[in-house]
Amino acid sequence: MKLLFTFITCSMLTTLCLAQENSSKITVGTSYSIESTILNEKRVIQVYTPDGYSASKQQYPVLYILDGQQYFLSGVGLLKSIRSPRAIPEMIVVGITDNESSRWTWFGDEKEKFSRFLIDEVIPFVKANYSTNEERVIFGWEGGAYYASELLLTHPEIFNGAILSNGGYASKEMLKDFTTDKATYLYMANSKKDIYNIDYTEEFHEILKENSPKNLVWNYDLHNNEVHESLAHLALYKGLKFYYHNYNSLVFESIQQYIDLGGMEYLTSYFKGRSERFGFDNTIDNSTKNALIWLAWKRDRFEYFKLFMTEFKDVLTTKRYDSAYWQHRFGQFYLKHKDYPNAIKYFNTGLSKYPNSRFEKQMKEGLMEAKNRKK
């Protein structure tokens, strides 16, 4: 027994040592301690850069997160999980650590001093050490949300958008004094279960409806399944999606939604605005073209399928459709709706271009049926 115990112990120690040799620590971002002359104290900030940052020559927008000790990792996790840079662009994330004992002071009575710290010390530090553009979004929860709402409205030249969770407020006078020549985005979220702050955000919502100034694009959402402590993560996600609402390709839930929004005219307008804001090509992108073709096909809306196949015929030459599968699918759909010339066209292409495919038998049968019915 002693020999067996010794053998097991040695085996476990050997396994542990091997595991340690093959392990590595997971590190998210870099932590800095900044000596603030404005606040007269040291403040810790955390900075995350996207994958491939060191080899990139591009300049990145920056997401500033108040209460970084709680929400910095949430911001990083969201950016890494919602398929940036497709759904939203890749961003640098800066978390500003706050102390529970003093955060309400800095976000309240000393907010002007905290703003100077943020604008005159933190942002210059980030700009000097990282490749950033001039696009900045700030996130705040609870006390940070009240602070961030006023910061955005008083300094639109510094921040392009603010995401507020479980708080936020600005007076009518502040809204009336707000002026900017660029679109500035404000997203606010709360829950009726947050009995501590809901009254203020509801009041702010009413003030925004009555006094919404030019170029302030805002939205208020209630997420009543969340509570005071849980909403921030969802609000950050929803706020980023709101801020970058026209960054991604367009996807419709139904053909009726496409019609209600304005059809082709809406598509043209959307991609023009997207181009002006982000510098993309102003033409309808292939992802949207594909989505509309597939939507009409899946929902059996043949008249719109024909429209999209004609309007977006260029996308049909891309690699995505370079397969027997799609020639077969298109041929069968045209056959179903008695468009025999197009059915014959796709079946012939499939059979000649992709001989001996697994769809060969079905395409031959479909081709024969289409030719017989065409007579």
What's 44's domain CATH number? 3.40.50.1820
Phi, psi dihedral angles at 127 (to 5 degrees):
-65, -35
Q: Which of 188, 211, 243 is the last residue of a domain?
A: 243
Structural domain total, the chain = 2
Structural domain for 155, as ranges: 30-243
Question: Does 171 share its domain with 228?
Answer: yes
Interatomic CA distance for residues 289 and 268, integer angstroms: 12
Mean pLDDT over residues 62-69, rounded? 97
Strands 41-48 vs 92-96: parallel, antiparallel or unpaired: antiparallel
**Domain with 282 in it: what CATH number?**
1.25.40.10
Question: Does 207 share its domain with 91?
Answer: yes
Q: Which of 205, 221, 243 is the last residue of a domain?
A: 243
Q: Categorize the per-residue pLDDT at 8 as very low, low, confident or very high, splitting at 50, 70 and 90.
A: very low
Question: Does 111 share its domain with 223?
Answer: yes
- In a domain? residue 2: no
Q: Which residues pair with 62 in a beta bridge?
A: 92, 136
Q: Which of 221, 243, 265 is the last residue of a domain?
A: 243
- In a domain? residue 341: yes
Mean pLDDT over residues 201-226, rounded? 95
Strands 132-141 vs 41-48: parallel, antiparallel or unpaired: unpaired
What percent of the chain is predicted at pLDDT more than 90? Answer: 87
Q: What is the CB neighbour count within 10 angstroms for residue 237?
A: 19
Question: Does 214 share its domain with 261?
Answer: no
- pLDDT, position 81: 87
- In a domain? residue 53: yes
pTM above 0.85, yes or no: yes
pLDDT in tens, 227-281: 999 999 999 999 999 999 999 999 999 999 999 999 999 999 999 999 999 999 9
Dump strand ranges (E) for 30-151.
Answer: 30-36, 41-48, 60-66, 92-96, 132-141
- In a domain? residue 131: yes
Question: Does 318 share its domain with 214?
Answer: no
Interatomic CA distance for residues 188 and 168, integer angstroms: 7
Question: Does 46 share its domain with 144?
Answer: yes
Phi, psi dihedral angles at 141 (to 5 degrees):
-115, 140
Q: Which amino acid is at 75?
A: G
Question: Does 307 share its domain with 188?
Answer: no
Question: Does 337 share its domain with 357?
Answer: yes
3-state secondary structure 184-220: EEEEEEECCCCCCCHHHHHHHHHHHHHHCCCCEEEEE
Q: Give the residue carrying structure tokens 């997401």.
A: 63
- pLDDT, position 375: 72
- In a domain? residue 176: yes
- pLDDT, position 327: 97
- In a domain? residue 190: yes
Question: Does 237 share its domain with 337?
Answer: no
- In a domain? residue 125: yes
Name the strand (E) or helix (H) holding 278. Answer: helix 263-278
pLDDT in tens, 145-192: 999 999 999 999 999 999 999 999 999 999 999 999 999 999 999 999
Interatomic CA distance for residues 325 and 353, integer angstroms: 12
Question: Does 322 share its domain with 239?
Answer: no
Range 70-90 burial, b when 16+ CB lie within 10 A, else e: bbbbbbbebbeeeebeeebbb
- In a domain? residue 5: no
Structure tokens at 182: 């660029």
Decide if pLDDT at 10 tops 70.
no
Decide if pLDDT at 19 tops 90.
no
Question: Does 219 share its domain with 263?
Answer: no
Interatomic CA distance for residues 270 and 264, integer angstroms: 10
Question: Does 175 share its domain with 265?
Answer: no
Of the candidates 246, 284, 252, 253, the residue with the CA atom closest to the CA atom of residue 267: 284
